[in-house]
Structure 1
Amino acid sequence: MKTVSLIAALAVGLTAIPAAAAAADQLPTAACPDTVSVETTCYGGKDSNGAFYMIAVPRNWNGTLVLHTHGGPDLGAPTQERSFDDLKRWAVMANEGYAWAGSAYRRGGYGTQMAILDTENLRTLFTKTFGKPKTTLLHGQSWGGNIAAKAAEQYKYDGVLLTNGVMAGATRGYNYRVDLRVIYQYYCQNHPRPTEPQYPLWMGLRKDSTMTGTGLRSRLQECTGIESKPEERTAQQAQNLKDILSVTKIPERTLTSHLNFSTFTFRDIVSNRLGGRNPFTNLGVWYTGSHDDVALNLGVQRFLADPSAVRDLSYDSDLTGNIKVPVLTMHAINDPTAFIEHEAAYKATVTNAGNARYLVQTFTQESEHSSLSDSGYASAISALSTWVHTGKKPTPASVAASCPTFDAKYHKGCFFEPGFTPNSYESRVPPRIGAFGWPALTEFQAKIWKRFYPNIGIAP
């Protein structure tokens, strides 16, 4: 393995030449993560837009490139470590003979179109260096699933793998966090406190607040005792926690991370990407599951979305189902972050667009969000690649049947559940009845809007 050599400029306009010679002349090499086979050469650097990237090319490269779109979004400045860690986590792709490339994106914060552009820039960089791959597959995990699914509607790939994806789109995919934000404040009254400057909760957090994640966890602990043993919580803390979890249907183990998102990421979306406009609503929602639903619904803060903010967020991140290549999804049934019902939302979107023939969804009996079994990833990417090359569409059962072969290599377990079907998204997240809604734009509508309103969407 070679050490990092930071070369400032990359050659452009080169024709396709053999991989090893091109890479030696153009890209800074980097140490590979320890999860990557020693038969692999890694490269790392920063593109012309300031986005860090990692590339891994195995010696026995099979000619297929897997482009990776990572989740988040990270709110801090991007680093090389981000793309290095992504390669470390999905080293299974390189170990299976695929070339792998992932961007850390040019900036922190929300922006699906921004992430798509940086992923496309990386594809161009890879092609200029190693030549055009025989096949290009796109893989997105978590928010990266939204990015990859959106990219597949706008650019040409040979196939797409979506794992634990946020597939309901931004304008409804974060509604359970909208609900969490207002329900938490109803019970806790400390975010903000009565003595602090007040602001509408759809902002997540006022723009000039200096609150940190540590400070937010302290307030959550104060209200619910979530970090204490159950027997050490006060009666009021226990009741608050029970009500918040029962109404939002958020698992206790990820309550802190969801509240972080509905605080800090909402602030980024509203204040930094939408100019202070509100894309969220909870009008028409009747919250249930508390010890006093009437009092909760009478007392919870309500708000109506700004149609222009909904339009711009929809343009950036909502899905239309306009896919024309094989798309395979894999999702943990007990995913505590991107609930399994996201897959039902995506299936409905694709089916309503008339493209169900391009979609296969698989589910696993796993309980984590950030990563799944390497044996499962290997099975899924192999099934997708075979579908792309042969035209033979896999089934959930056939993907599951292939897993033991890969598990003999990775020993991470096979957890596919071929007979599983998720409930509707609305069964988990109440629809916004009676509120203004802007439908996801079709490709044609997006072109028209872009022509007459060039500043639509979220700027990179």
Structure 2
Amino acid sequence: MTGILAAALIVTGAPAIGADDVRVHTGAIDGARYRVEVPSNWNGKLLLYNHGIYPPGYVPEEIELANRAEAKPVLLGEGYALAASLYSKPNGFSAREAVRDQTALLSWFDRNVGRPEQVLTWGASGGGLNAVLLSERLPHRIDGALAMCGPVAGGSALFGQALDLGFTVRTLLAPELEVVRIADPGANLAKAHQVIAKALESPDGRARLALANAFADVPGWSTAHHPRSTDVAEQIRQQTKFVQAVYDQLAWGAHRTDLEAQAGGNPTGNTGVDYRGLLARSSERGLVRQAYRDAGLDLGADLARLAAAPRVEADKAAERWLGRVGTPAGRGRQPVVTLHPIGDGVAPEHERTYGDRVDPGRLRQLFVNRGGHCQHTAAEELTALSVLRDRVETGRWPSTSPERLNAEANRSGPEFRFLYDWLHGEPGTAAPAFRRYHPDPLPRVV
């Protein structure tokens, strides 16, 4: 029986596992809280989950062991042990702490539960990047990685995208905004939100927001339960809603200042960047050109303003630090599976840029036809996990045709296809939506 089919049967028919059948371990290692759950029927395998970039001040009540809560009893019922560290630095960009603290938790598990015969690591959003980094740092302990909706091209690329976006907004809309070495991130962020809200009110402002968003490859689609709109203004509103919810802290707020404090300086710059060339390589260039035509604006003139604007120079030592701790090199022997919505604001182009570094024989990249950040269902995530498990356990990749994957995910009940569109506040049930997709590389990789 293939892993994909086994996962489908588990989703639809696995016996429920009661709380009395699971041992829960909690504690802290060097300031990093952890949670481990081991079922009584432990199969000797461990799933090590990596959480994403939590916003300032947020910590979950219970440490997450899976991206979708519905997946947790399925995996425990199959016999997997589940573990995760909250990291000693749970908020902001924490790639360094994630690798260190997850490594320590794995050692704790060896001593207190038993050395697993198989370790798979997985994560969503920034946790997807952390899963890939962890697999590269621990090639003899991690057997495979599933990176879901992650900026897997690396932290340098992610914060470079945010810098390009913020720099464009500053140059074309609000010269008083700070994009590096921000003195008061709270006030700067509030000002950025005011500028964006005002820009959305006019065709000129929307066109310039579309240009800024395009440099970060933010798609004009962020709704999970609706197809991409054909209306230009609506596409820009959806782009910008994502930026205000996710990229704002990276471009103008606390995540930027926190990163610079970690790196000991500014790790990303735009010296020598040709923004005309970046636009030509952006997946959203068509939306930008249409928005400028609708507004009657001269796109060439705005690109000339960007070309003439003073550049932001990176601090070389900080730049090297971020490249070292936060950028996957593509090394390793373990199989890697990635999963990404094609309308994710953390651009699926990250997958192409990462994929160009990796031996294609150990990589499978899966996409779902949906908008929104990390908007895949538990059924789709379990199906992706089973693809990885099949490769680890048999040494061969199963079929990853969309038809096959959708058929297997569709065996799940409606509770595993529930999807809450957190950005737009809309719950619903989503049919499996795996599809073929071949993203371009990111416009630039820092």
TM-score above 0.5: yes
1:423 matched to which residue of 2?
440
2:137 matched to which residue of 1?
154
| Aligned counterparts of 1:411 and 1:234: Cα–Cα separation in 2 | 38
The code of the aligned residue for 1:268 comes to D
Does residue 132 (structure 1) correspond to residue 115 (structure 2)? The answer is: yes
> 1:182, 1:300 within 8 Å by CA — same for their partners in 2?
no
| Aligned counterparts of 1:269 and 1:305: Cα–Cα separation in 2 | 13
The one of 201, 204, 217 equivalent to 2:193 is: 217
The code of the aligned residue for 2:180 comes to W
2:394 matched to which residue of 1?
390
2:22 matched to which residue of 1?
41
Secondary structure, aligned partner of 2:194: helix
Paired residues in the alignment total 369
| Aligned counterparts of 1:142 and 1:167: Cα–Cα separation in 2 | 9
> 1:164, 1:332 within 8 Å by CA — same for their partners in 2?
yes
The one of 241, 263, 275 equivalent to 1:274 is: 263
1:261 matched to which residue of 2?
250
| Aligned counterparts of 1:324 and 1:246: Cα–Cα separation in 2 | 35
The alpha-carbon deviation at position 134 of structure 1 amounts to: 2.5
The alpha-carbon deviation at position 245 of structure 1 amounts to: 4.1
The alpha-carbon deviation at position 411 of structure 1 amounts to: 4.0
Secondary structure, aligned partner of 1:66: strand
1:103 matched to which residue of 2?
85
| Aligned counterparts of 2:390 and 2:188: Cα–Cα separation in 1 | 47
Report Cα offsets for 1:370-389 as digits up to 9, x if no partner. 34211011111222222212
| Aligned counterparts of 1:212 and 1:81: Cα–Cα separation in 2 | 29
Unmatched tracts of structure 2, length 5 or more: 1-15, 219-238, 280-287, 419-429
The alpha-carbon deviation at position 339 of structure 1 amounts to: 0.7
> 2:188, 2:252 within 8 Å by CA — same for their partners in 1?
no
Judging changes above 3 Å, is the alpha-carbon distance between structure 1 residues 132 and 399 closer, same or farther for their aligned structure 2 residues? Answer: farther
| Aligned counterparts of 2:129 and 2:259: Cα–Cα separation in 1 | 16
Does residue 404 (structure 1) correspond to residue 379 (structure 2)? The answer is: no
Secondary structure, aligned partner of 1:182: helix
Write the mapping of 1:426-441 to structure 2, written as runs, cut at 5 A.
Answer: 429-430=443-444
| Aligned counterparts of 1:65 and 1:340: Cα–Cα separation in 2 | 28
The one of 71, 78, 85 equivalent to 1:92 is: 71
Judging changes above 3 Å, is the alpha-carbon distance between structure 1 residues 166 and 348 closer, same or farther for their aligned structure 2 residues? Answer: same
> 2:335, 2:362 within 8 Å by CA — same for their partners in 1?
yes
Does residue 202 (structure 1) correspond to residue 183 (structure 2)? The answer is: no
1:448 matched to which residue of 2?
none
Secondary structure, aligned partner of 2:371: coil
Judging changes above 3 Å, is the alpha-carbon distance between structure 1 residues 259 and 299 closer, same or farther for their aligned structure 2 residues? Answer: farther
> 2:132, 2:328 within 8 Å by CA — same for their partners in 1?
yes
| Aligned counterparts of 2:209 and 2:108: Cα–Cα separation in 1 | 49
Identify which range, 277-286 or 156-165, moves more after superposition: 277-286
TM-score by length of 1: 0.72
| Aligned counterparts of 2:271 and 2:152: Cα–Cα separation in 1 | 20
Secondary structure, aligned partner of 2:343: coil
Report Cα offsets for 1:56-108 as digits up to 9, x if no partner. 333443332110111115444x7462624x55734404423222111111023
Judging changes above 3 Å, is the alpha-carbon distance between structure 1 residues 418 and 217 closer, same or farther for their aligned structure 2 residues? Answer: closer
| Aligned counterparts of 1:406 and 1:136: Cα–Cα separation in 2 | 25
Write the mapping of 1:329-348 to structure 2, written as runs, cut at 5 A.
Answer: 329-336=338-345, 338-348=346-356
Judging changes above 3 Å, is the alpha-carbon distance between structure 1 residues 327 and 414 closer, same or farther for their aligned structure 2 residues? Answer: farther
The alpha-carbon deviation at position 162 of structure 1 amounts to: 1.0
Secondary structure, aligned partner of 1:366: strand
Report Cα offsets for 1:238-261 as digits up to 9, x if no partner. 454455445654322212121222
1:64 matched to which residue of 2?
45
Judging changes above 3 Å, is the alpha-carbon distance between structure 1 residues 140 and 345 closer, same or farther for their aligned structure 2 residues? Answer: same
Judging changes above 3 Å, is the alpha-carbon distance between structure 1 residues 80 and 407 closer, same or farther for their aligned structure 2 residues? Answer: closer
Does residue 321 (structure 1) correspond to residue 311 (structure 2)? The answer is: no
Does residue 378 (structure 1) correspond to residue 382 (structure 2)? The answer is: yes
The alpha-carbon deviation at position 422 of structure 1 amounts to: 1.7
Unmatched tracts of structure 1, length 5 or more: 1-35, 193-198, 226-232, 433-460
2:311 matched to which residue of 1?
302
The code of the aligned residue for 2:63 comes to S
Does residue 293 (structure 1) correspond to residue 300 (structure 2)? The answer is: yes
Judging changes above 3 Å, is the alpha-carbon distance between structure 1 residues 220 and 171 closer, same or farther for their aligned structure 2 residues? Answer: same
Judging changes above 3 Å, is the alpha-carbon distance between structure 1 residues 293 and 103 closer, same or farther for their aligned structure 2 residues? Answer: farther
Secondary structure, aligned partner of 1:211: helix
Identify which range, 252-261 or 241-250, moves more after superposition: 241-250
The code of the aligned residue for 1:132 comes to R
Report Cα offsets for 1:154-182 as digits up to 9, x if no partner. 10211111111111112223322111111
Secondary structure, aligned partner of 1:72: coil
Instruction: Give percent identity, aligned residues only.
Output: 22
The alpha-carbon deviation at position 316 of structure 1 amounts to: 0.5
| Aligned counterparts of 1:74 and 1:42: Cα–Cα separation in 2 | 30
Judging changes above 3 Å, is the alpha-carbon distance between structure 1 residues 57 and 174 closer, same or farther for their aligned structure 2 residues? Answer: same
2:163 matched to which residue of 1?
178
Higher relative contact order (CA 8 A, sep 6+): 2
Report Cα offsets for 1:220-243 as digits up to 9, x if no partner. 32x324xxxxxxx25654454455
| Aligned counterparts of 2:17 and 2:169: Cα–Cα separation in 1 | 46
